[in-house]
Amino acid sequence: MALGRPEHGNFPVEPVTLKILVAGGFGVGKTTLVGAISEIRPLRTEERLTEAGRPVDDTSGVEAKDTTTVAMDFGRITLRDDLVLYLFGTPGQQRFWFMWDELSEGALGAVVLADTRRLEDCFAAVDYFERRAIPFLVAVNCFDGAARYPSESVRRALDLDAGVPVVLCDARDRDSARDVLIGLIQHAMRYTAEHRQPVGG
């Protein structure tokens, strides 16, 4: 008697893991976003901002900020038993950017966080992902007191391709952070389908 194929559910299934980056300029809320959404206590690599760093660490708009990420933030979200997201927050300051190549290896996509009070701080992140054809979306972190702009103005100011989504968010809010990640995954799936090389092509 031939044995039937064992039920799929009888075996522990290795989850599919997706890696997502959270990038953007200094103090834009990357560590905050990873902390808001991670189901584990995120690994952080914060160091205190010091008097010596004051000339290069521009905290205008985030004056309460007294630490900065020097290597990465790491968080995890289980979407289903078989689907886990790993979140990597990049360091914002240019002097730690050598970490980015390491962190972006194998990433599904990236969230570029932006603050409209200093939009130019995310140019470098946008440029980085465009050059490497890593799908990304721009999430404007709406700080209290910062002017609100329609997403079309942000798109124009950053000279984004028409397909790159621009969304508004509050990096402190779990639901808002979740919406950003869902938006990125949907965009990355579309992007990958559109840019897939034809077999043999």
Which residues touch 117 (CB under 8 Å, ≥6 apart)?
A: 60, 61, 143, 146, 147
CA 177 – CA 24 distance, rounded (Å): 15
Task: Give 94 or 192: the residue with its C-beta nearer to ligand GTP.
Answer: 94
Pick the stretch among 16-24, 26-34, 55-63, 125-133 that binds Mg ion (CB under 5 A): 26-34
Q: Does 32 bind Mg ion (CB under 5 A)?
A: no
Q: Does 141 bind Mg ion (CB under 5 A)?
A: no
Please tell me the count of residues contacting Mg ion according to CB under 5 A.
3
Sort strands 16-24 and 109-114 into parallel, antiparallel or unpaired. Answer: parallel
CA 138 – CA 129 distance, rounded (Å): 11
Tokens 């992007």, located at residue: 191
Q: Which of ligand GTP, Mg ion, none has residue 62 at its interface (CB below 5 to 8 Å by kind)?
A: ligand GTP
Least gap, CB of 182 to ligand GTP (angstroms): 18
Q: Does 141 bind ligand GTP (CB under 6 A)?
A: yes
Please tell me the count of residues contacting ligand GTP according to CB under 6 A.
21
Tell me the CA distances in angstroms from 125 to 47, 60, 92, one per residue in order: 22, 20, 9
For Mg ion, the binding residue among 30, 114, 126, 185 (CB under 5 A) is 30
Q: Does 43 bind ligand GTP (CB under 6 A)?
A: no
Least gap, CB of 129 to ligand GTP (angstroms): 16
**Stretch 65-104 residues interacting with Mg ion (CB under 5 A):** 69
Q: Does 38 bind ligand GTP (CB under 6 A)?
A: no
Phi/psi-derived region of residue 3, left when phi > 0, alpha when psi is between -120 and 50, beta in every other case? beta
Least gap, CB of 28 to Mg ion (angstroms): 9
Tokens of 146: 């910062």
Which residues touch 168 (CB under 8 Å, ≥6 apart)?
A: 139, 140, 142, 148, 151
CA 38 – CA 130 distance, rounded (Å): 27
Q: What is residue 176's three-state secondary structure?
A: helix
Q: Which of ligand GTP, Mg ion, none has residue 19 at its interface (CB below 5 to 8 Å by kind)?
A: none
Q: Does 64 bind ligand GTP (CB under 6 A)?
A: yes
Enumerate binding residues for ligand GTP (CB under 6 A): 26-32, 62, 64-65, 68-69, 91-93, 141, 143-144, 170-172
